[in-house]
């Protein structure tokens, strides 16, 4: 299901939510989210998106859960 659009959206939302949660843990923030460039920079940017747009991300997660559980 990763190759479908809804699978990519679920993966993206889970990545953003996970990175935003890991940003709140001090040891993991220093270890995982310290780089701002390259491959590790993707996790940093996802964490920034998750913390700054937390309301929009939460609403998107609820809507995606409803879609996956009820519609699909």
User: Would the pLDDT of 72 be above 70?
Assistant: yes
**What domain count does the chain have?**
1
Are the beta carbons of 60 and 15 closer than 8 angstroms?
A: no
- Quote the pTM value: 0.82
Which residue range forms the structural domain that includes residue 23? 4-71
Q: Higher model confidence: residue 34 or residue 12?
A: 12
- Classify residue 33 by burial, with Cβ atoms within 10 Å: 0-12, 13-18, 19+: buried
Give mean pLDDT, residues 6-24: 90
- Count the residues in the chain: 72
Find the angle CA(8)-CA(13)-CA(15) to the nearest 5 degrees. Answer: 95
- Per-residue model confidence as pLDDT tens digits over 40-67: 888 889 999 999 999 999 999 999 999 9
CA distance 46 to 20: 7
Are the beta carbons of 19 and 40 closer than 8 angstroms?
A: no
């Amino acid at each position: 299901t990763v190759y479908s659009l809804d699978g990519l959206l679920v993966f993206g939302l889970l990545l953003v939510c996970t990175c935003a949660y890991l940003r709140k843990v001090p040891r993991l923030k220093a270890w995982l989210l310290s780089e701002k460039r390259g491959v590790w920079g993707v996790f940093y940017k996802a964490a920034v998106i998750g913390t700054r747009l937390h309301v929009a991300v939460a609403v998107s997660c609820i809507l995606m859960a409803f879609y996956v559980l009820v519609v699909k």
